[in-house]
Amino acid sequence: MSADQIDPQAKRAAARKSRIPLPHGGYKLKLLRLLTDPLTRLQNRNPPSVGATESVSVPGPEGDLDARLYLPSGDPPYPTVVFFHGGGFVLGSVETHDRLCRHLTRESGCAVLSVEYRLAPEHPFPAAVEDAYAAVEWAAESTDRLRGTGDVAVAGDSAGGNLAAVTALMAAERDGPDIEHQALLYPGIGVDPEQESVREHAGIVLSREDIEWFSAAYYRSDIHRRNPYADPINAGDLSGVAPATVVTAGFDPLRDGGKAYAEKLVADGVATRYETYPAMVHGFMTMREVDRALDAVASVGADLADALDG
């Protein structure tokens, strides 16, 4: 299924994002990081309500990681979803994905633990992976702190979708925490500059230069880029990983990489639901002005609720 035109709401939201070009390093990157959280808080006034939110410090390999716990309405215990934000491994925070995590909490009935991780280029691969996996291990061990049932899933969008997939792979290969489900939202996995989606849609939210710079800042070398824990499309066998939901957007340069990963999961026998939103753009599930975003979050939330039920 494809669409001839971008959804009008998504097109307007993408145009607004393009007014602030993504900086490729230097002081402009630092400035954008400083401004992003207060601007996001301003934009996110009157956010969707949840039962409660709490600030949490998660022990990481190089120091504590800031996190925010979203608790649903109703009495505990709750299943736990560990969420990793997007931003090309370079940008993003708990604050930038607050609305998405609130909606995910409401739709899934799960507690959502949104975890920050060290960012490139200051902290290239494998820093983010080490932080993400440490957070999943901690969540699995901290049932009382999280008012949890002991059931754990992982989720993330864009670069965070990559981290969610990698933590699911690591847990399977290392006999780590039991992960019940992985929700990968337009994940940064298996991206190739020759893919049709990159050729046709680079410049919509993400330019080819953005993609190349994010990759260079995070991977630093082709050797790292080929590591399955950097890009799980390179994994030889995915058969032991958690069942998956993979979401892509029709006008997203990352679409074909996400689709290829979903196909690889299916080929390796992993129960996978793949859903594409033909008229959407990269990052649409964080765009408050896009009605279709709420439908997508509700669908993912239902998958998580089903996977973590009882």
Give me the pLDDT at residue 91, please: 94
Catalytic member of 158, 181, 197, 215: 158
- Rounded to an integer, the average pLDDT of 6-33 is 89
- Cβ atoms of 137 and 176 within 8 Å: the answer is yes
Q: Which residue has the higher pLDDT, 110 or 33?
A: 110
Catalytic member of 7, 131, 231, 252: 252
Give me the pLDDT at residue 18, please: 84
pLDDT (tens digit per residue) in 248-277: 999 999 999 999 999 999 999 999 999 999
SS3 (DSSP) at 147: coil
Domain region containing 263: 8-308
Binned at pLDDT 50, 70 and 90, residue 17 comes out as confident
Assess whether pLDDT exceeds 60 at residue 296.
yes
Residue 234 lies in a domain: yes
- Alpha carbon distances (Å) from 20 to 35, 80, 119, 212, 242: 12, 35, 20, 18, 37
Assess whether pLDDT exceeds 80 at residue 2.
no
Residue 38 lies in a domain: yes
Q: What is the mean pLDDT of the chain?
A: 95
Residue 3 lies in a domain: no
Give me the pLDDT at residue 112, please: 98
Catalytic member of 103, 123, 201, 282: 282
Residue 1 lies in a domain: no
Closest CA to 154 of 187, 124, 122: 187
Binned at pLDDT 50, 70 and 90, residue 34 comes out as confident
Residue 2 lies in a domain: no
Number of domains in the chain: 1
- Rounded to an integer, the average pLDDT of 279-288 is 96
Give me the pLDDT at residue 293, please: 97
- Active-site residue flag, 282: yes
The CATH number covering residue 204 comes to 3.40.50.1820
- Active-site residue flag, 158: yes
Sheet (strand 272-277) strand order: 52-60, 63-71, 111-115, 78-84, 148-157, 179-185, 244-249, 272-277
Give me the pLDDT at residue 1, please: 52
Give me the pLDDT at residue 252, please: 98
- Active-site residue flag, 142: no
